[in-house]
């Protein structure tokens, strides 16, 4: 994995970063968001959605598993895999979303990627840690093809 850059972000800055990503991320980008409950994963996804121009409210898709938002600049596919079994995740065929063949190519964002039986070949990896009640420590890294995106993504 390439560059790792830690940022300490309060809520407005984390939301600003997410909106920037929603404007900047290309179709085909896969964003894996690691972090405990309350770390800010869904908050980040909501901000990415805002940057994409999605006005529909984005909630955690815990009961629907995959939520598709098609009204923005490009589609947003939001997964929340919390506590799914490997076979349940396989049955969702998440690879169809990042292969972009059977669905329109868009941005795939995955909460709880620990539950993916197989990682995509290429992805951005976000790690969120609660630093203080108001601050989150965000680390961003990328596999080979996503690495050229990093400098822009870190400068909202």
Residue nearest to ligand ADP as judged by C-beta position: 40
Closer CB to ligand ADP, 102 or 134, in the complex: 134
Residue number of the CB closest to Mg ion reads: 42
Q: Which is nearer to ligand ADP, 3 or 8 (CB)?
A: 8
By C-beta, is 5 or 11 nearer to ligand ADP?
Answer: 11
User: End-to-end CA distance of the chain, in Å?
Assistant: 22
Phi and psi angles of residue 146, each rounded to the nearest 5 degrees, phi first:
-85, -10
**Using CB under 6 A, which of 31, 42, 48, 77 touches ligand ADP?**
42
**Would you count residue 19 as binding ligand ADP (CB under 6 A)?**
no
Query: Is the CB of residue 32 less than 8 Å from the CB of residue 126?
Result: yes
From 18-26, 28-36, 65-73, 103-111, give the range in contact with Mg ion by CB under 5 A: 103-111
| φ/ψ of residue 5, rounded to 5 | -130, 110
**Token pair belonging to 109:** 């964002």
Residue that the structure tokens 């390439």 belong to: 2
User: What is residue 83's three-state secondary structure?
Assistant: coil
Q: Are 140 and 154 in contact (CB under 8 A)?
A: yes
Q: Which stretch binds ligand ADP (CB under 6 A): 19-27, 98-106, 118-126, 134-142?
A: 134-142
47 binds Mg ion (CB under 5 A): no
In this chain, which of 2, 26, 38, 148 binds ligand ADP, going by CB under 6 A? 38
| Pairing label, strands 30-34, 124-130 | parallel
Q: Which two tokens stand for residue 54?
A: 């999605």
Residues that bind ligand ADP (CB under 6 A): 9-11, 14, 35, 37-43, 111, 134-136
């Amino acid at each position: 994995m390439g560059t790792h850059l830690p940022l300490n972000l309060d809520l407005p800055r984390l939301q600003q970063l997410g909106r920037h990503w929603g404007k900047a991320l290309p179709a085909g980008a896969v964003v894996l968001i690691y972090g405990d409950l309350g770390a800010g994963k869904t908050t980040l996804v909501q901000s990415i959605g805002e940057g994409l121009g999605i006005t529909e409210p984005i909630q955690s898709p815990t009961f629907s598993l995959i939520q598709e938002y098609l009204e923005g600049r490009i589609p947003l596919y939001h997964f929340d895999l919390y506590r799914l079994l490997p076979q349940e995740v396989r049955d969702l065929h998440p690879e169809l979303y990042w292969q972009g063949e059977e669905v329109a190519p868009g941005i795939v964002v995955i909460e709880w990627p620990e539950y993916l039986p197989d990682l995509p070949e290429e992805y951005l990896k976000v790690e969120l840690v609660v630093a203080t009640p108001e601050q989150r420590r965000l680390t961003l890294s990328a596999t080979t093809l996503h690495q050229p995106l990093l400098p822009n993504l870190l400068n909202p």
